[in-house]
Amino acid sequence: MSTAVVGTPEGLHDPVPFGYRHTTVAPAGAELVFVSGQYGSGPDGAVVSTDFAAQVDRAFHNVGLALAAHSLGLADVVRLRTYVVDHEPAKLGPIAGAVAERWGAVPPAQTLIGVAALATPDLLFEVEAVAVRPV
């Protein structure tokens, strides 16, 4: 998939080390695919670990599985929205690392939202994605 990469817009910091970029552009006429919030669950729906980094890794893995059902991959993602229970700066490392592992120097746009809780008490992280399928 090809999205326009603007780089870092003038006057804004380089966000890539933090696991996102400021903007992405979907090609004209492209079809958007929305992935609901994915969390660190296995195939049975149970959370795979109580460890934050393990939940982050598995949640991104699950985004990949959801996209594969539409013949898309992580490279097709243009937007992420992450939810972090009891956010603190130490939690940025595992998130940025997981994004860098999957998207390298060209991550999607992303917003991190700190929340008090998610759907069940054992969930520590959730991620939504928007991907683009050129038509």
Residues 85-117 have pLDDT tens digits of 999 999 999 999 999 999 998 899 999 999 999
> Which of the listed ranges 7-16, 23-32, 106-115 does the model predict with the highest average pLDDT?
106-115
Identify whether 12 is part of a domain.
Answer: no
**Residue 1: predicted pLDDT:** 46
Q: What pLDDT is stored for residue 6 in this prediction?
A: 56
- Domain membership flag for residue 1: no
Q: Which long-range contacts (CB under 8 A, 24 or more apart) does 99-106 make?
A: 99/19, 99/20, 99/60, 100/19, 102/60, 102/64, 102/74, 103/74, 103/75, 103/77, 105/16, 106/5, 106/16, 106/21
pLDDT for position 109: 92
- Among 30, 38, 83, 41, smallest CA distance to 64 is for 38
Please check the confidence at residue 75 and state whether its pLDDT lies above 60: yes
From residue 23, how far is each of 45, 102, 109, 135 by CA, in Å? 33, 18, 6, 21
In this structure, the number of other CB atoms found within 10 A of the CB of residue 89 comes to 6
Domain tally, the chain: 1
Is there a contact between 58 and 43 (Cβ–Cβ < 8 Å)? no
| Residue 71 within any structural domain of the chain | yes
Find the CATH number of the domain harbouring 30: 3.30.1330.40
What's the pTM?
Answer: 0.86
The predicted structure's pLDDT at residue 8: 74
> Could you tell me if residue 15 is inside a domain?
no
Residue 116 sits in which domain range? 26-133
Structural contact between residues 109 and 79, judged by C-beta atoms closer than 8 angstroms: yes
Residue 2 lies in a domain: no
The pLDDT value recorded for residue 3 is: 52
Bridge-partner residues for 63, per DSSP? none
- Average pLDDT over all residues of the chain: 91
Q: Compute the average pLDDT of residues 44-55.
A: 97
β-sheet with 125-133: strand ranges across: 31-39, 125-133, 77-85, 109-115
Please report whether residue 14 resides in a domain: no
In-domain check, residue 6: no
> Is 77 inside a domain boundary?
yes
